Amino acid sequence: MGPILFSRPFHSPAEIQNVADVLATDHVHGDGPFTASATARLKQMTGAAHALLTTSGTHALEMAVRLVGVKPGDEVILPSFTFSSGATAIVAAGATPVFVDMELATGNIAADQIEAAITDRTRAIEVMHYGGVPVDMSSVGKLAARYQLRVIEDNAHGLGVTTPAGVLGTIGDVGIQSFHDTKNVHCGEGGAVLFGTDALTEPAEVMREKGTNRSKFLRGQVDKYTWVDWGSSYLPSELNAAVLDAQLASFDTIQAARFEVWNAYREQLADWAATNGVTLMEPPGGVHAAHVFWLLLPTPERRDEVLASMRAEGVQATFHYVPLHSSPAGQAFGRTSGTMVNTDDFAARQLRLPLWAGMSEADIARVVATLKKS
């Protein structure tokens, strides 16, 4: 019996033909017809006024941090429980990441811990919708308005999730998406930056095109293009865009398949969890992206024991993340505000189950059975 992978990228029916179409042309670099099509799909899906594809979610975060005006010496508040890119993008701009605690119930930044972290150097608040479960954006937005701060949404997990406050990734000043192959929708490596104001359009285009005004040149707005500001090579190739366009076209199919797996876990593990002191992921209002299914074991020792047992049986469960405040780079480049009681507890007891579109009923049954006997 082969292993059950933790994650497996979905393959859209149109991917191969799209890639073949690109290779049959002389336009393999970025900003071709598939870039345009994928961008249009993304804007329609999210309601974003503006969207630019990038080479990764990390690069989208680097752009977002600079687009909201973060400069050397500034501070940006973010959850300690997030991927390292959230912090490295801040450090790359010469600023300091300031880590705050999380909510045990959601895995998201604890909105009531943010204000205590604000100083006269604070420029922005960066939130991450863990598993596509919405952060309390109302509280974050009120704080941001009171202290004149900008809000960055790391929506790598929550593509297409709609809330009363808006579609995730479009509620703050700038939002980002990731299209890494572990995400619901992917192009191997890729991302996007989303924003709603026209004032950011030209700076974002310049930043993405190596600091040049090439985008204006291609539209015929200038007769030659030149270096005008800071930038990097954040534009993905047309090959990546071709895959992404196919994936976005299959979004409803992908989500339906992932929700089948998520819902099966929730139903089949409910009684076992209640009997064994295990906390199952339970998004408030049932709003999430079916990106992850996590559970909290009673103790860190029990988590490690179950994880080792499942892996020995060929079920690739894992955990997520090592808190940034406890990491070597986090301690070197950032600072911590308040206690990290919830973050440390959550990270030590959390276990994530395999979840991907295409898992069979037999796969799900095996994961559940392995977990229950571990």
Does 223 share its domain with 331? no
Does 98 share its domain with 193? yes
Does 218 share its domain with 173? yes
Look at residues 130, 9, 126, 99 and name the one whose alpha carbon lies nearest to residue 332: 99
The string of pLDDT tens digits covering residues 208-237 is: 999 999 889 888 898 889 999 999 999 999
Residue-averaged pLDDT of the chain: 97
Q: Domain of residue 194: give its range.
A: 15-250
Residue 249 to residue 251: CA distance in whole angstroms: 6
Residue 340, in any domain of the structure = yes
At 306 the pLDDT is 98
Is the per-residue pLDDT at 125 higher than 90?
A: yes
At 356 the pLDDT is 98
Does 108 share its domain with 221? yes
Residue 3, in any domain of the structure = no
Question: Using an 8 Å Cβ cutoff, are 204 and 52 in contact?
Answer: yes
Mean pLDDT, range 86-102, rounded to an integer: 98
Residue type at position 280? L
Residue 358, in any domain of the structure = yes
pTM higher than the cut 0.85: yes
Give bridge partners of residue 77 from the DSSP assignment.
98, 125
At 218 the pLDDT is 83
Does 89 share its domain with 175? yes
At 320 the pLDDT is 86
Specify the number of domains making up the chain.
2
Does 40 share its domain with 56? yes
CATH number of the domain residue 216 falls in: 3.40.640.10
CATH number of the domain residue 318 falls in: 3.90.1150.10
Mean pLDDT, range 1-28, rounded to an integer: 96
Residue 296 to residue 309: CA distance in whole angstroms: 16
Helix orientation angle between 201-208 and 57-67, rounded to the nearest 10 degrees = 130
Residue 80 to residue 88: CA distance in whole angstroms: 12
Q: How confident is the model at residue 258 (pLDDT cuts 50, 70, 90)?
A: very high
What does the block give as tokens for 120? Answer: 């006269």
Helix (H) or strand (E) holding 174: strand 174-178
At 243 the pLDDT is 98
Does 260 share its domain with 234? no
End of a domain among 218, 250, 282?
250
At 303 the pLDDT is 98
Mean pLDDT, range 235-242, rounded to an integer: 98
Helix orientation angle between 300-312 and 341-349, rounded to the nearest 10 degrees = 30
Mean pLDDT, range 278-303, rounded to an integer: 98
Does 40 share its domain with 181? yes
The string of pLDDT tens digits covering residues 145-156 is: 999 999 999 999
Residue 113 to residue 117: CA distance in whole angstroms: 7
Residue 282, in any domain of the structure = yes
Question: Using an 8 Å Cβ cutoff, are 349 and 278 in contact?
Answer: no
Does 165 share its domain with 308? no
- Return the beta strands (E) in 80-169 as ranges: 96-100, 122-128, 150-154, 162-163, 166-167
% of the chain at pLDDT higher than 70: 100
Look at residues 14, 95, 105 and name the one whose alpha carbon lies nearest to residue 287: 105
Residue 4, in any domain of the structure = no
Q: Angle 268-310-83 (CA atoms, 0-180°, nearest 5)?
A: 90
Helix (H) or strand (E) holding 53: strand 50-54
% of the chain at pLDDT higher than 90: 96
End of a domain among 191, 218, 250?
250
Look at residues 29, 145, 41, 152 and name the one whose alpha carbon lies nearest to residue 86: 152
